[in-house]
């Protein structure tokens, strides 16, 4: 299959392409598109054959459900069986934006889209091109991140092309993603539609919309334990996708945690030893100051005082390590104030929870 690669921005001349992209979806094809979080790999959410194609293009296990993207709140009742009042308040506050909410699903959504579950995850992305594309596609676009399964999510059109060339009909390149980490996922499927919630809403994946921001709008929320703990036979994540090793570079990734100076000296020594043993070593660090790191690749992915920059560059840094054929990566911990949970959740999953405490 020939993959058409189209650069789009928000000016009028792109409308033709967006219309064509929508037509591809209506006819059962796949189009990757930009959002404010990461790039999505879109197909018709209400068409089971399209959902199957998404799993195939990504090489994704078919029990890992897809997020359905909508462009209008009026469309939500067509796919969600019951929308609790708390969800309406959250939608008013955070949509369009980086929050995904899970509801009981209607029969309009095939189980292929939801990985066999009776619930459906829904998001309205905060990105003009994405919204126009979803409208052109008929209103319901199933879209996981546009990477091959297990790989870091793509935050540029070029990275989508790297993974999806020849596998999908079209890529809409809208420039680098603003946020760079996937949406916050909040499970509301256990909440009743009345005032009282049967089960408190649960964060299945942390993201740009933080626990505090959610609490301000709806009060009590809690985290699924597997967000920060390693999932095993006794501890199964509620978001099926979170059980897989994920977001990962090809090389082995280890997080080094502890007192700042101890971390620096550990990484310096460990990098030296590994290189002496013939390994290609990469280091992910924050801040711009020189810490005396020597490795085949040292990436300063952002300053601790600008956590948005760290979030935006994390996945690209993994992919740069892969470009440079790095075998072993040491990363500092990036437990920043607001986005720290989201950043560390991805880093921990990518590292298979390999943390060295010094």
Footprint on this chain of ligand AMP (rule: CB under 6 A): 64-65, 67, 102, 114, 117, 119-121, 144-145, 182, 185, 204, 238-242
Contact 17, 6 (CB under 8 A): yes
The 10 Å Cβ neighbour count of residue 146 is 31
Picked from Mg ion, ligand AMP, none, the partner binding residue 57 (CB below 5 to 8 A depending on kind) is none
Cβ closest to ligand AMP, residue 100 vs residue 132: 100
Nearest approach, Cβ of residue 74 and ligand AMP (Å): 21
Picked from ligand AMP, Mg ion, none, the partner binding residue 64 (CB below 5 to 8 A depending on kind) is ligand AMP
CA dist 186 and 74 (Å) reads 20
Nearest approach, Cβ of residue 58 and ligand AMP (Å): 8
Contact 302, 286 (CB under 8 A): yes
Q: Interface with Mg ion includes 145 (CB under 5 A)?
A: yes
Picked from ligand AMP, Mg ion, none, the partner binding residue 197 (CB below 5 to 8 A depending on kind) is none
The 10 Å Cβ neighbour count of residue 7 is 12
Q: Which two tokens stand for residue 64?
A: 């890992």
My answer on whether omega of the bond before 106 falls inside 30° of 0, hence cis, is no
Tell me the residue number closest to Mg ion, measured at CB. 145
CA dist 72 and 23 (Å) reads 19
Contact 253, 279 (CB under 8 A): no
Cβ closest to ligand AMP, residue 246 vs residue 291: 246
CA dist 95 and 118 (Å) reads 23
Cβ closest to ligand AMP, residue 71 vs residue 109: 109
Picked from ligand AMP, Mg ion, none, the partner binding residue 239 (CB below 5 to 8 A depending on kind) is ligand AMP
Nearest approach, Cβ of residue 157 and Mg ion (Å): 17
Binding mask 48-77 for Mg ion (x = CB under 5 A): ------------------------------
């Amino acid at each position: 299959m020939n993959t058409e690669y189209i650069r789009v921005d928000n000016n009028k001349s792109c409308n033709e392409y967006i219309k064509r992209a929508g037509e591809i979806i209506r006819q059962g094809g796949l189009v990757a598109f930009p959002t404010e979080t990461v790039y999505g790999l879109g197909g018709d959410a209400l068409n089971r054959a399209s959902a199957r194609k998404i799993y195939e293009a990504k090489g994704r296990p078919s029990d890992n459900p897809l997020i359905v993207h909508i462009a209008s709140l009026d469309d939500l009742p067509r796919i969600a069986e019951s929308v609790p009042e708390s969800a309406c308040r959250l939608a008013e506050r955070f949509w369009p934006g980086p929050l995904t909410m899970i509801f009981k699903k209607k029969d309009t959504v095939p189980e292929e889209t939801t990985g066999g579950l009776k619930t459906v995850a829904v998001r309205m992305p905060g990105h003009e091109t994405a919204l126009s594309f979803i409208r052109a596609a008929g209103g319901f676009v199933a879209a996981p991140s546009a990477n091959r399964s297990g790989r870091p999510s793509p935050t540029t059109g070029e990275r989508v092309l790297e993974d999806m060339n020849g596998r999908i009909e079209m890529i809409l390149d809208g420039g680098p993603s603003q946020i760079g980490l996937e949406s916050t996922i909040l499970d509301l499927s256990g909440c009743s539609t009345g005032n009282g919630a049967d089960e408190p809403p649960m964060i299945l994946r942390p993201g740009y919309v933080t626990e505090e921001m959610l609490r301000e709008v709806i009060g009590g929320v809690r985290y699924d334990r597997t967000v920060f703990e390693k999932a095993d036979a006794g501890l199964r994540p509620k978001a099926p996708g979170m059980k897989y090793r994920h977001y990962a570079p090809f090389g082995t990734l280890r997080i080094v945690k502890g007192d700042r100076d101890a971390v620096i000296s550990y990484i310096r020594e460990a990098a030296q030893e590994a290189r002496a043993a013939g390994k290609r070593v990469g280091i992910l660090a924050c801040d711009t100051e020189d810490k005396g790191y020597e490795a085949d690749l040292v990436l300063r992915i952002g300053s601790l005082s600008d956590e948005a920059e760290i979030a935006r560059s994390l996945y690209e840094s993994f992919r740069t390590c892969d470009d440079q054929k790095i075998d072993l990566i040491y990363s500092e911990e990036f437990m920043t104030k607001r986005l720290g949970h989201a950043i560390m959740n991805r880093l921990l999953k990518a590292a298979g929870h390999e943390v060295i405490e010094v």
